Amino acid sequence: MSSMGLSGTFTLGDRTVKRLGYGAMQLAGPGVFGPPGDRGAALAVLREAAARGVNHIDTSDFYGPHITNQLIREALHPYPDDLVLVTKVSARRGPDGAWIPAFSPEELIQAVHDNLRNLDLDVLEVVNLRAMFDVHGPAEGSIEAPLNVLAELRRKGLVRHIGLSNVTPAQIEQGRRIVPIVCVQNQYNVAQRADDALVDDLARDSIPYVPFFPLGGFTPLRSAILSAVAARLDASPMQVALAWLLQRSPNILLIPGTASLAHLRENLAAAELVLPEDALGELDALAGA
């Protein structure tokens, strides 16, 4: 399959997107804070992604802060008709780059308006509410109050669709009772498989699952096995990790990020990589390694 096909499509909200998208987080400076080291290269990566058919870009106004949204606007506005920009809210940045929960109604409303302004949009296609009870991973806690704020902004026409990030199955159930949830974004990869059942549950309801950190949380043994499989297939470990996710379930949408044109092209080429059964068996065993 050509990377222009980007391994098929899936529905996100009421839009159709290619399953291999792009995450803008790494376009900001070190620690996702401050401007990029090479602004021209950051703009070139965004333009190349769009030129190669990517039509799902994940961002947030707390990346930078403001930096990635401003780069997206500069690189791609006026936006292609098929481009879906997905953002997230519920955090702000301290002067030292710290990630600070921003769950109050005032902070959430401000965040939506900041995203609208910096992206130069009248309405945000998808806004993910990121649960911040634990910045390192999902933790239980009620998301009703912040989600009601976003639901009201949806009723006012500033937001079309709402998703969830860094959440537990219980929070997803709670969220779906309040407003339609069009995507879930959590950490998941070939080695970190805690959300296996959730991926399948969402697939049954045709809700996209958007994993982040495709190479996150690997032990040295897992990395060695992944590298060995990749070498045998004449691919990079990242390509194999992305291809595994694409083959894992049709509702998985990928948003690998990079600030490098070479890495962008390598990531997009993962859409062409079909993993044979023996490789899939080795990779599936990584979760227990």
Catalytic residues: 63
Residues 156, 148: Cα–Cα separation, whole Å:
12
Residues 56, 68: Cα–Cα separation, whole Å:
15
Residues 84, 61: Cα–Cα separation, whole Å:
16
SS (H, E, C) the chain: CCCCCCCCEEEECCEEEECECEECHHHCCHHHECCCCCHHHHHHHHHHHHHCCCCEEECCCCCECCHHHHHHHHHHCCCCCCCEEEEEECEEECCCCCEEECCCHHHHHHHHHHHHHHHCCCCEEEEEEECCCCCCCCCCCCCHHHHHHHHHHHHCCCEEEEEEECCCHHHHHHHHHHCCEEEEEEECCCCCCCCHHHHHHHHHCCCCEEEECCCCCCCHHHHHHHHHHHHHCCCCHHHHHHHHHHHHCCCECECCECCCHHHHHHHHHHHHCCCCHHHHHHHHHHHHC
